[in-house]
Amino acid sequence: MPVNRSMFFLTALLSKSSPHTEVAAAEKYVAGDRAAYKQVAEWIKQVTILSIWHFVEDIEDINSIVHLKLFSNLKAGRYRGESTFRTYVQRIARYTCIDQVRSQRVRRDADPDDLPAPAKSESPDMEHQQREERAIFLRIFRAIGPECQKLWRMIFSESLNYKEIGKYLNLPEGTVKRKVHECKKEAIELKEKLI
């Protein structure tokens, strides 16, 4: 049975939602409506899953960042229904993915000489011990992942605190603390293998 093209376009035109209904859907999400949240989470996942191979972070962390940005934008009244709510959500997800990929670009050939050197000691024994510790540290630093190298640089070379690192990486402070803890745990395991 042939499809009447004019009928198809008329149906499509009539089924388009208005800015009012789109804003109402966004308001449901902000209000904590479970169905609205599930739908938004699915829209976000459709975007972030396509970029998963780019991320050092866990995909759930990226999805959480998108939810935070979206919630913040909606609370600030930045969405006025000019596009569908789905388009708006997925645009935020796409740009968040781009920002995350840019923020995690780390030189794989990290230069440990950028890190502060231990203070010189008067005692030859202490100096020898410090050289050994530095050699072990450099081996650990080279073996650990690029994300941990980046975090250590920010902490030790740039003297940034967790909150400042979170701002720079666009991550919640708690996530930064967790990542630093994981890096420390990985470093301890590497040290035990080296000694």
What local confidence, expressed as pLDDT, does residue 88 receive?
93
Q: Please tell me the total count of domains within the chain.
A: 2
Most confident of 35-39, 104-108, 112-116, 184-188: 35-39
Question: What is the per-residue pLDDT across 59-113, written as a single tens digit (0 to 9) for each?
Answer: 788 888 888 899 888 998 889 888 899 999 999 998 888 877 776 654 444 555 5
Domain check: are 127 and 177 in the same one?
A: yes
Domain check: are 91 and 120 in the same one?
A: no
- Domain containing 156 — which CATH number? 1.10.10
Which residue has better confidence, 105 or 141?
141
Which domain-ending residue is among 68, 103, 138? Answer: 103
Which domain-ending residue is among 103, 128, 145? Answer: 103
pTM: 0.47
In total, the chain counts a number of residues equal to: 195
Query: How far is the C-alpha of 24 from the C-alpha of 148, rounded, in Å?
Result: 42
Phi and psi, residue 193, nearest 5°: -70, -30
Structural domain includes residue 4: no
What local confidence, expressed as pLDDT, does residue 64 receive?
86
Domain check: are 147 and 90 in the same one?
A: no
Domain check: are 99 and 73 in the same one?
A: yes
Which two three-digit tokens encode residue 36? 């609205």
Which residue has better confidence, 39 or 131?
39
